[in-house]
Amino acid sequence: MNKKLNIGAGEYPLSGFINMDVYEFPGVELICNAIKLPMEDNSLDEIFMGHSLEHNTMSEARKILKECLRVLKPLGKIGIVVPEKDLTPKHMIKGSDFPEQPYRAHHSYWTLKMLREEVKKAGFEDIEDIDISTYPYLVARPSWQVGVKAIKGGLNMKKEKNKIGEKIEIPKFDEKENSWCKHEKKVIYNPTKKVHCPKCGRLL
């Protein structure tokens, strides 16, 4: 069974997820701060973080993204939705409706470009914009929110592509007689194993 985490679930827990928040709400099973997640490395299949990242400072947000990368399995998925800083109603940004809960206030402000850049800096790959009108985990779809989805790369990620986006066919070879290099993309007869790739230095 896939292990999924909903960070900042609040009043909207998701079915099939471990619902987490810094406050106690009905349906929230895990109360903690996302800066330090109580999960082992490479243990989750998916993370959703909806309207949560902006309640942290930019420094904290960067730590949270790194922490998400740590706990996701290779090829694990993440989806992040935040309010767009120039479009969001100002009373929501200030959090003035909830003075007793300081995490309700916004402590960082995001554009879609900023979100894409920070997710990439954290180490995620295959970053795509979320279609707010169809993304399945949203409970409301106001036009002032933006989001991205991405994956954690890994050694088993079979996504080698050439410049025009087509898959590269890795040739079959006899390891006792031949070798190959990702830069050469071809089999080379090399029984002595003394020829090196001029780009990466790997034995051919």
Answer whether residue 158 is part of any domain: no
Judgement on whether residues 97 and 135 belong to the same structural domain of the protein: yes
| Full domain range(s) for residue 203 | 167-204
Judgement on whether residues 147 and 56 belong to the same structural domain of the protein: yes
Answer whether residue 39 is part of any domain: yes
Answer whether residue 162 is part of any domain: no
Window from 81-85, 87-91, 194-198 with minimum mean pLDDT: 194-198
**Percentage with pLDDT > 90 across the chain:** 57
133-186 pLDDT tens trace? 999 999 888 888 999 999 999 755 544 433 334 443 434 444 444 454 555 544
Answer whether residue 129 is part of any domain: yes
The CATH number for 70's domain is: 3.40.50.150
Judgement on whether residues 187 and 104 belong to the same structural domain of the protein: no
More confident residue, 28 or 165: 28
Which is nearest to 82 in space by CA: 107, 115, 60, 105?
Answer: 115
Answer whether residue 137 is part of any domain: yes
Answer whether residue 161 is part of any domain: no
Judgement on whether residues 182 and 142 belong to the same structural domain of the protein: no
Contacts 24+ apart (CB under 8 A), 131-139: 132/81, 135/79, 135/81, 137/6, 137/14, 137/48, 137/50, 137/79, 138/50, 138/81, 139/12
Judgement on whether residues 143 and 185 belong to the same structural domain of the protein: no
Answer whether residue 20 is part of any domain: yes
Q: How many domains does the chain have?
A: 2
Amino acid at 199: K
Answer whether residue 126 is part of any domain: yes
Judgement on whether residues 123 and 191 belong to the same structural domain of the protein: no
Judgement on whether residues 140 and 39 belong to the same structural domain of the protein: yes
